Structure 1
Amino acid sequence: MRDIVQSGDETVWDLCILGAGIAGLNALYAACEHLPPTARVLLIDRKASCGGMWCATYPHVRLHQPHPMFTVGNIPWAWSKRPEYLATGDEVAAHLAHCLDQIRDKVAVTELYGQNCIAIEEIATDGGARARLSLEAVDGGASRVVDARRLIDARGLDIPELEPLPLSSDRVVSTTPQALDMAGDAPVYVIGGGKTGMDTAHALITRNPRRPVTMLTGMGTVFASRDFTLPTGLPRYWRGKLVLPTFRELAMRFDGTNADEVFAHFRDTYTLCPTGTGEQFLFGILSERESRTIARGVKAFVGDYLVDVCDGRGGPELVLRSGAKMPIAPGSVIVNCTGYVLRAARPDQPFLSPGRTILTITSRAATHFLSSVAGYFLPHLFLTDQLRQTPLYLLDIDALRRIDRKLMHITTVTHTFLNTLVLMNALPFCVLDGCGLDLDRWFPMHRRLAALIDVKLNQRRYCDHARRVLDRVQADHGILCGPIPG
């Protein structure tokens, strides 16, 4: 822990960044391009160190994508492992700490950890508008107020830690992926069919093949095929399809009303699913080998949702949303792998405050489906006062999820495609090229150039179509899906 702010410090910071995960660190990296070395910058997080969700994730987690495309700015990983290596959670956390070390060489960063943000407001002063944060120590210590000339709220998805499910029966063990005993022999019921559930099932199957594993997967989740999306070795020169043309294809098929049809095309063309069926996609990636291992190793997939575990006449029973009940053995382990992305209630905070001192990166007013990418690009526009003049569209992804998950996916793809083209016009090439999060960097230059030439030549047609579609989604569903308010 470095340079901790003392209670009662009345310094007005040049920039405050709230959130020290992948989004916040990318915002800090981008801000360094626009701040003098003497600027005073404050980095705040509720955890005890930088790293966001990677500080407390489950031990068997691995990156979805090759590790070079998960970074801060374009800071390389400090090792020589093969590019296709999928880094572990501890390795990701260490890399993010390394990235912060690199940023400290550019600007003076003061870190304040263990703080919950209670309130954010814009205040008027004789020197102009300022951002004010009210903070409260996580450990119950003193509260404090922080003032800054600019604030970037980069908490992003602010993913909470999973908790054991509260169950009525005390004859089963309720736990989380973080606390799961991999060496045990009791039957395991993995609750959730997303990436966390698949990671957990895969770890159980590969480490203890004889242990019975059942998955409750609800409507089912499909995953982008890593073998197709991110082929390794020489096949990168001809196999697979880049993200930009994939998003273009889906966006141009979408008319605002045919999300089911476009989703079905996407599912049949680009994805795989260990359960055999899937009705939602949350931008997760699996390899064909991982999918086969899970499909063959899981004892049963149950396409339903867990309501509770109760004690019946013959022992504990899973109580399902459909009304069905499933008897299970006493001592069975129930692992909470339920989806936590987009589930936390987030306040409807303005994307940009009236006095232009506060930028909020949030799924309630998203500019990209990845908060990390938004965290990199938006500060370049925010700190040069160009945001209001840039024709980006904002999207309330949380509200869309509650309406229709297929509509959420296809609309989010269309929205991200539009904003990518807008950013390509609004930002210098050096800024665009400095985003190491771009998955298309995995492919050789000639394939990337072909995709860029296509969108440059057809940009007006693509943008006009995407705007018409997004305007229709907003009109039909009454959610935020339109330009940044003037």
Structure 2
Amino acid sequence: MRESLETDYLVIGTGAAGMAFTDTLLSHSDATVTLVDRRHTPGGHWIDAYPFVHLHQPSAFYGVSSVPLGRGAVNQTGINAGFHEAAGADELCAYYAQVMNQHFLPTGRVRHHPCSDYSVGSDGRHLITSRLTGDVQEVRVQRKLVDTGYLEGRIPATSPPPFEVAEGVRCVPAGDIVRVAERPDRYVIIGTGKTALDTCVWLLSQGVSASAIQWIRPREGWWLNRRFNQPGEGLPEFFAGIGLQFKAMAQATSVDDVFARLEADGFFLRVDTTVVPTMSRGAMVSEAELALLRQIGDVVRHGHVRRIERDRIVFDGHSIPTSPRTLHVHCAAVGLARPVPRPIFEADRVTLQPLFWSFACYPAALLGVVEATIADTDEKNRLCPPIRYWDEPRDYLSSYLALLAHERARAAYPEVNAWAKGTRLNPLSDLGVHRGHPLVTQTWGELKQYGGAAAANLVSLLR
């Protein structure tokens, strides 16, 4: 006979989105919550991340709203000296364990089921199965199931390469390069995204010669300049970056022109200025990191790798030589998933998805506030239409347009609006501290001058 339990909300997944949503749901309601995850501890993909990974954003803007992450420190050494701390995987896993054990569970309204799988029985009932004991519990959900995995992507650490690897070829995911026992003659980095950038920067920072690295880049990407995304004393420049975006969006004649203008302002960066990027996913790099990356001269642009043999790497219609003493580093997982958006709020379900251009945890936490404070499902969906994760340059513009629309609509809901303006997950929540700063004053003028034109021109550019 199945053991049963009852809960208001059943949250599937204890990664960043599920934890951020649960935090605000708890603080804005009296709901009971049961959290289920196949992993042994909260933290989601951070548990599987490569050991040298760090947030690409400051710690100050990440995590759950009610528990600060980090100490607000500025890096004194390293490639990102002068910028605010960005937590690594170990710190993030410890942070989420602390949130669960010291903030969620002590409320008496939260149950946590790690090492467990969620399923729906043949009778339509919610089931939790322990991976350790096989015990099955039936869960009676009084309000809603919260699905945090609809957009779950794949990472190299837990996904096989998206290409064939012949026997005898040395090919490892990014995280395994820290455990290499036999020094390779050279490294081949396969991938275009943030994992590939991090891997190249780490190797170069460890003294690996740029001439020993070959970088296979199927696409070129636009990257946010870390300098324009800092808290504390960096917030006036963060705000100035918003003014630069409004001006570019108001004056540009095409999507590419928006990026060209913002590159001229230093807001967007690219590794190779001779190649037009076809990717824009919102990750950050610093100008110091960029200088390191530009040292790598052996860049291959033949599209996606299809197969690695002992003596060659095969693309569609092309191949390049390799060797058994080369270490091929797989950084080419799909990453962020981009299925067709579905309504976030339904009668018996919440499906977490992005809402607008923003750091990841802020919109997930905002959805918890909306769920707790607005009763009507249609109205919640009107306020929070989902978008797909950004991938191409035009996605940046459409997601920014969604941000402008959301902020206008949100003004009708005082409780939601007050939370959004006050949470530390919103980078601009502390802007009032810098009210008299010349950059802030100047930027307010630019927003008034270009705001309306930017919104109208975005609609035109996206047609």
1:271 aligns with 2:265: no
Equivalent pair of 1:421/1:459 in contact (CA under 8 Å): no
Letter in 1 for 2:208: P
1:419 aligns with 2:419: no
Structure 2 residue aligned with 1:407: 394
- Runs of 4+ that moved beyond 6 A: 120-123, 451-460
> Counterparts of 2:393 and 2:127 in 1: how far apart (Å)?
38
1:29 aligns with 2:29: no
> Counterparts of 1:94 and 1:422 in 2: how far apart (Å)?
37
After superposition, residues 62-81 of structure 1 pair within 5 angstroms as 62-77=54-69, 79=71, 81=73
After superposition, residues 33-182 of structure 1 pair within 5 angstroms as 33-36=27-30, 39-77=31-69, 79=71, 81-82=73-74, 84-100=84-100, 101-119=102-120, 133-137=126-130, 141-142=134-135, 144-148=137-141, 149-155=143-149, 157-162=151-156, 163-165=159-161, 166-181=163-178
Structure 1 residue aligned with 2:79: none
Deviation larger for 424-433 or 60-69: 424-433
2:301 to 295, 300, 303: 303
Structure 2 residue aligned with 1:192: 191
Letter in 2 for 1:317: R
Structure 2 residue aligned with 1:352: 345
Residues 175 and 168 (structure 1), Cα distance of their counterparts in 2 relative to 1, 3 Å cut: closer
Equivalent pair of 1:317/1:326 in contact (CA under 8 Å): yes
1:317 to 281, 297, 312: 312
> Counterparts of 1:293 and 1:433 in 2: how far apart (Å)?
37
> Counterparts of 2:271 and 2:95 in 1: how far apart (Å)?
31
Equivalent pair of 1:71/1:436 in contact (CA under 8 Å): no
Structure 1 residue aligned with 2:13: 19
1:381 aligns with 2:370: yes
> Counterparts of 1:104 and 1:299 in 2: how far apart (Å)?
52
Structure 1 residue aligned with 2:257: 261
Equivalent pair of 1:219/1:304 in contact (CA under 8 Å): no
Equivalent pair of 2:171/2:328 in contact (CA under 8 Å): yes
Structure 1 residue aligned with 2:218: 218
> Counterparts of 2:311 and 2:21 in 1: how far apart (Å)?
49
Deviation larger for 416-425 or 239-248: 239-248
> Counterparts of 1:108 and 1:455 in 2: how far apart (Å)?
47
Letter in 1 for 2:306: D
Equivalent pair of 1:368/1:419 in contact (CA under 8 Å): no
Deviation larger for 204-213 or 84-93: 204-213
Q: Secondary structure at the match of 2:403?
A: helix
Structure 2 residue aligned with 1:361: 352
Equivalent pair of 2:11/2:36 in contact (CA under 8 Å): yes
Equivalent pair of 2:13/2:149 in contact (CA under 8 Å): yes
Aligned length: 438
Equivalent pair of 1:167/1:309 in contact (CA under 8 Å): yes
Residues 423 and 305 (structure 1), Cα distance of their counterparts in 2 relative to 1, 3 Å cut: same
Residues 449 and 242 (structure 1), Cα distance of their counterparts in 2 relative to 1, 3 Å cut: closer
Residues 169 and 11 (structure 1), Cα distance of their counterparts in 2 relative to 1, 3 Å cut: closer
Structure 1 residue aligned with 2:385: 394
Identity of aligned residues (%): 17
> Counterparts of 2:224 and 2:365 in 1: how far apart (Å)?
24
Q: Please, what TM-score do these two structures have when normalized by structure 1?
A: 0.77
1:469 aligns with 2:463: no
Q: CA deviation at 1:320?
A: 2.0
Letter in 1 for 2:97: A
Q: Secondary structure at the match of 1:292?
A: helix
Equivalent pair of 2:387/2:399 in contact (CA under 8 Å): no
Unaligned runs of 5+ in 1: 1-6, 124-131, 477-486
Letter in 2 for 1:21: G
> Counterparts of 1:135 and 1:368 in 2: how far apart (Å)?
34
> Counterparts of 1:451 and 1:138 in 2: how far apart (Å)?
57
Q: Deviation per CA, 1:306-349, whole angstroms, max 9, x where unpaired?
A: 333454xxx5111123x2211012231111112533347x5865
Equivalent pair of 1:309/1:318 in contact (CA under 8 Å): yes
Structure 2 residue aligned with 1:287: 286
Letter in 1 for 2:110: V
Residues 91 and 410 (structure 1), Cα distance of their counterparts in 2 relative to 1, 3 Å cut: same
Residues 87 and 348 (structure 1), Cα distance of their counterparts in 2 relative to 1, 3 Å cut: closer
Q: CA deviation at 1:457?
A: 7.3
Q: CA deviation at 1:66?
A: 2.0
Letter in 1 for 2:86: L
Equivalent pair of 2:312/2:319 in contact (CA under 8 Å): yes
Residues 222 and 189 (structure 1), Cα distance of their counterparts in 2 relative to 1, 3 Å cut: same
Unaligned runs of 5+ in 2: 76-83
Equivalent pair of 1:244/1:440 in contact (CA under 8 Å): no
Residues 449 and 142 (structure 1), Cα distance of their counterparts in 2 relative to 1, 3 Å cut: farther
Structure 2 residue aligned with 1:431: 419
Q: CA deviation at 1:284?
A: 0.6
